[in-house]
Amino acid sequence: MPPVKPMLAKAAGRIPDGMHYEAKWDGFRAIVFRDGDEVEIGSRSAKPLTRYFPELVAALRANLPVRCVLDGEIVIARDGRLDFDALLERIHPADSRVRMLAERTPASFVAFDILAHGDDALLTTELAARRERLVRALRETAEPVHVAPATSDVDVARQWFEQFEGAGLDGVIAKRLTLPYRPDERLMVKVKHERTADCVLAGFRYHKSGPVVGSLLLGLYDSSGTLQHVGVSASFTMRRREELVAELEPLRMDSAAGHPWAEWEREAAHANSRMPGGPSRWTGTKDLSWVPLRPERVLEVAYDHMQGDRFRHTARFCRWRDDRDPASCTYAQLEEPVGYDLAQVLTPSGPPAG
Q: Is 50 exceeded by the pLDDT of residue 337?
A: yes
- Beta-bridge partners for 301: 197, 317
Q: How confident is the model at residue 176 (pLDDT cuts 50, 70, 90)?
A: very high
* 306 contact partners, CB below 8 Å, separation of at least 6: 312, 334
Query: Mean pLDDT over all residues of the chain?
Result: 89
Residue 197: in which H helix or E strand, if any?
strand 195-207
Whole-number percent of the chain with pLDDT over 90: 66
Q: Residue 268's pLDDT is what?
A: 65
Q: Is 90 exceeded by the pLDDT of residue 287?
A: no
What does residue 326 show for φ and ψ, rounded to 5 degrees?
A: -50, -35
Average pLDDT over residues 129-134: 97
Q: Which long-range contacts (CB under 8 A, 24 or more apart) does 318-327 make?
A: 318/196, 321/198, 322/297, 322/298, 324/198, 324/298, 325/298, 326/200, 326/295, 326/296, 326/297, 326/298, 327/221
CA atoms within 13 A on the CB side of 171: 21
Higher-pLDDT residue of 227 and 337 is: 227
Average pLDDT over residues 116-136: 97
Return d(Cα 218, Cα 228) in angstroms, integer: 8
- CA-nearest of 326, 347, 354, 346 to 82 is 346
The amino acid at 202: A
Return d(Cα 257, Cα 319) in angstroms, integer: 28
Residue 145: in which H helix or E strand, if any?
strand 145-147
Average pLDDT over residues 111-118: 98
Q: Is 70 exceeded by the pLDDT of residue 33?
A: yes
CB count within 10 Å of CB 298 equals 20
Return d(Cα 124, Cα 147) in angstroms, integer: 21
Least confident residue range of 86-100, 154-168, 325-339? 325-339
Distance from the Cα of residue 19 to its chain's centroid:
24
Tens of pLDDT along 229-251? 999 999 899 999 999 999 999 99
Tens of pLDDT along 35-94? 999 999 999 888 899 999 999 999 999 999 999 999 999 999 988 888 888 998 999 889
Using a 10 angstrom Cβ sphere, with 0-12 exposed, 13-18 middle and 19 or more buried, the burial of residue 93 is: exposed
What does residue 282 show for φ and ψ, rounded to 5 degrees?
A: -85, -30
Question: At 10, is the secondary structure helix, strand, or coil?
Answer: strand
Buried b (16+ CB within 10 A) or exposed e, 59-76: bbeebbbeebbbbbbbbb
- Looking at the whole model, is its pTM more than 0.75? no
How would you classify the pairing of strands 210-221 and 195-207? antiparallel
The amino acid at 68: C
Q: Is 60 exceeded by the pLDDT of residue 352?
A: no
Q: Residue 193's pLDDT is what?
A: 81
Helix count and strand count (H, E) for the chain: 7, 20
Listed in sequence order, the DSSP H helices in the chain are 54-63, 84-90, 95-104, 127-137, 154-163, 238-248, 342-346
Q: Residue 110's pLDDT is what?
A: 97
Q: Residue 354's pLDDT is what?
A: 46
C-alpha dist (Å) from residue 86 to 16, 259, 286, 336: 33, 30, 23, 21
Q: Is 60 exceeded by the pLDDT of residue 279?
A: no
Q: Is 60 exceeded by the pLDDT of residue 280?
A: no
User: Mind telling me the catalytic residues?
Assistant: 24
- Provide the angle, in degrees to the nearest 10, between the axes of the packed helices 54-63 and 95-104: 60
Q: Is 70 exceeded by the pLDDT of residue 353?
A: no
